[in-house]
């Protein structure tokens, strides 16, 4: 869930909340552990700030937190650790038209000092 809130002529804020629940047999799909199941859930509050930098270019800065639990089922007798992660998403989107954009996204890990870069992606979106 999220809501876009315009702020001035060039800026927009988007407070939101996402989440998921997932079950699996093992973290490594090529080596499943028989009889052991995982249950993972997360809630991810976020606040994105978008700024129109030019007619076609939009920049984004978005801190978010992941809170949840990831662990083995109780039948396996393992602990269920609590997740708490802080991340920062940076993005640059090129809007070619009202129905097409290409985005370049980088994610930064704020709570792991030795590993600041946490991945990225390139996204092409065509609306019809």
Residue 19 tokens read as 């989440």
pLDDT of residue 85: 87
Percentage of residues of the chain with pLDDT beyond 70? 79
Most confident of 19-23, 32-36, 52-56, 83-87: 52-56
pLDDT of residue 27: 55
Per the CB < 8 A criterion, the answer to whether 102 and 124 are in contact is yes
The string of pLDDT tens digits covering residues 104-126 is: 999 999 988 888 998 999 999 99
Instruction: Give every strand in the sheet of 100-109, ordered side by side.
Output: 5-7, 11-24, 38-52, 57-72, 82-97, 100-109, 117-126
Quote the CA–CA distance of 73 and 78 in Å, as a whole number: 7
């Amino acid at each position: 869930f999220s809501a876009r809130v315009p702020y001035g002529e060039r800026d927009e804020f988007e407070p939101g909340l996402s989440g998921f629940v997932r079950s699996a047999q093992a973290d490594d799909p090529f080596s499943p552990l028989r009889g052991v199941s995982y249950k993972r859930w997360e809630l991810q509050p976020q606040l994105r700030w978008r700024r129109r930098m030019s007619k076609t270019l939009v920049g984004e800065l978005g801190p978010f937190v992941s809170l949840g639990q990831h662990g083995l089922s109780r039948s396996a007798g393992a602990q269920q650790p609590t997740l708490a992660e802080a991340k920062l998403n940076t993005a640059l989107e090129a809007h070619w038209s009202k129905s097409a954009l290409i985005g370049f996204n980088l994610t930064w890990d704020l709570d792991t000092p030795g590993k600041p870069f946490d991945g990225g992606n390139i996204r092409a979106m065509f609306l019809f």
